[in-house]
Structure 1
Amino acid sequence: MAIASFAFLALLIFPLIASFQTQRTVATPSPTASTGVQQEELEQQARGYELVLQREPDNQTALRGLVEIRIQQGNVEATIEPLERLAELNPNQPDYLVLLAQVKGRTGDLEGAAQAYRDILSTNPGQVNALQGLSDLLIQEGRPEAAIALLQDTLQSADEANRAQPGSVDLPAVQLLLGQLYAEQERYDEAIEVYDRTIDANPDDFRPILAKAIVLQAQGKTEEAEPLFTRAETLSPPEFRDQISKMAAGQSANPVTPIEPANPPAGVPTTPPTPLETQPEATPTP
């Protein structure tokens, strides 16, 4: 139950990651989807985009279309080259680098994934999707203390970063991620301490309240968790209230469409980015 609840909480904090994870789920084709007429049609579309790119190598609509087709085919590795080009063409749009890092991580290039995340953080130290991705990689490598230190360092330098570029570090989002890491390591007291600070600074944000309730519930402190679940449900958008009610009752939450951080960092879209969407004017010609 606790694992499912923390996964639900992650959806609330990191919409880009959740959005792409949905894409990756779709990208694993069924036996019928990966064969026959449908697969042939997808390959024809891919060849069309490749022909466009032979004439116009920087055509971003064709690059995005090729990425989308390769994902539909389940050929995630083939998205690396067009994503690299999209990242080069859009240096001020870190979401392409985030997607590239996710793809590299999925295909086993953990070093390449980590470097892509670090490249983002070198110029956007509060980019929450990159922080989440890099911390996940560190956890996979068995380095939870390094993941925690990454987030603590980000929080310690947040005031300076936000003075230089207002809104560049979303403090509540980073605090929520740090609390989640503590909770997943069963360092519950430290998680609750982080959540309490976040609640004090953001009393109308339901996310840290819900996070604290989840941790208390994981510890078996259901009576302490109950009023927090009620408060989180009251403050949350209507589309999340059923899931929060189920968690309060000890049931697993169903997947839902994620929402944005309460205060998105500068330069981060308020909705999941659209690098995988195609535009009608770039329909490939065979």
Structure 2
Amino acid sequence: MSQPRKRWIVNGVLVLAVLAFVGVSMVPLIAAFNQTQSSTQKPANTRSGSPSSDQKSKLEDAARGYEQVLQRESENQTALRGLLETRLQLLSLGAGDIKSVIEPLEKLAKLNPEQTRYAVLLAQAKQQIGDREGAAQAYRSVLENKPGDLEALQGMVALLLAQKRPEAAVGLLQDTLKTASQANKIQPGSIDTVAVQVLLGNVQASQKSYAQALSVYDQAIKNDQQDFRPVLAKAMLLKEQGKTEEAKILFTKAAALAPTQYKDEINKQASASPTPSPSPTSTPTPNSTPKE
């Protein structure tokens, strides 16, 4: 938890996004959700893909143990985290129910209001079960205190787009940018302006407002010429529009600016066939500017 808040993931066609710095124990929630969704769409593998009854039994026993502790001490955070992690492991095995993680997450979010990871994960869980209003409330609870929290912003934007409210998503990001300068004077780095601009451009591109998206990317590039994120986002959009020569120049520039571990992926994306426009919340929007 004391390391710099940088955690990168590469997903799909060079999806460079950052999970909020949630610690190793929280990361399985995302994987568990994905695993649960996949398991509803594909028949279970009756051989190596299925969890053994012994493994499942041990996890269920552990969950019951934590539940017994919580019956005596309802706010015991060690037990709450243990119960959450155990239920996540069951989810990752295709057992259990996403609803089972909501109660411990609600308690952990309430007990740790300064640790936004719990509220964001709670919002994700509620969105998974179709409780969009509950998800929105959880995201708003984070953004009221930390308007620059990228995980909450990405989640809220995705939720608004799922509700067919792109104007609201654009408005949220524009409002965040309007307050960024003052917020960063009070608490330097509290709002990653470039990341929010890239996210705004992604939303506009997803709505086929390409001119506006390119304008936002250009402004982000102007704001920080050493940041590869808006350069890469613009390259991807230009490539999708068939402007391959312009895109090629920007891919080369993005690769030169990016951290070493992403250069190969950027080059691979540059040579790949065009793909549909990226999701608004899944192009380069890391939690901190990648300068090293």
**TM bracket, shorter-chain basis:** 0.7 to 0.9
Paired residue type of 2:184:
N
Partner of 1:39: 56
Provide TM-score, normalisation by structure 2.
Answer: 0.79
Equivalent AA in structure 1 for residue 288 of structure 2: A
1:78 CA displacement: 0.6
Deviation per residue, 1:209-239 (Å, 9 max, x gap): 1101000001000000001101111221222
Counterpart amino acid of 1:119?
Answer: S
2:167 matched residue in structure 1: 145
Is 1:177 the equivalent of 2:199?
Answer: yes
What 5-or-longer segments of structure 1 have no aligned partner? 265-286
- Could you tell me whether the CA contact under 8 Å between 1:98 and 1:117 is conserved in 2? yes
In structure 1, what is the Cα distance between the partners aligned to 2:79 and 2:109?
14
**Structure-to-structure mapping, 1:122-271, within 5 angstroms:** 122-251=144-273, 260-263=286-289
Q: Following TM superposition, by how much is the alpha carbon of 1:165 offset from its aligned partner in structure 2, in angstroms?
A: 2.7
- Matches of 2:164 and 2:178, distance apart in 1: 24
Note the C-alpha offset of 1:187. Answer: 1.4
The alpha carbon displacement at 1:161 in A equals: 2.0
What residue is the counterpart of 2:279 in the other structure?
none
Amino acid at match of 2:83: L
Q: Check whether the contact 2:195–2:229 (CA below 8 A) recurs between aligned residues.
A: no
Structure ranking higher in helix proportion: 1
1:251–1:261 CA distance, 2 compared to 1 (3 A): farther
Match of 1:120 in 2: 142
RMSD: 2.6
**RCO higher in 1 or 2 (8 Å CA, sep ≥ 6)?**
1
TM-score normalised by length of structure 1: 0.81
Task: Verify the 8 A CA contact 1:105 1:113 in the aligned structure 2.
Answer: yes
SS in 1 for 2:20: helix
- Aligned residues: percent identity? 49
Aligned to 2:98: 76
Matching residue's letter, 2:75: D
Match of 2:70 in 1: 53
8 Å contact from structure 2 (residues 239, 274) kept in 1? no
Number of matched pairs: 255
CA shift, 1:251, in A, is 4.6
User: Does 2:37 align with 1:21?
Assistant: no
Letter in 1 for 2:30: Q
Structure 1 position 148, deviation (Å): 0.6
Query: Residues of 1 paired with 2:235 and 2:106: CA distance?
Result: 41
Distance in 2 (CA, whole Å) between partners of 1:117 and 1:92 is 14
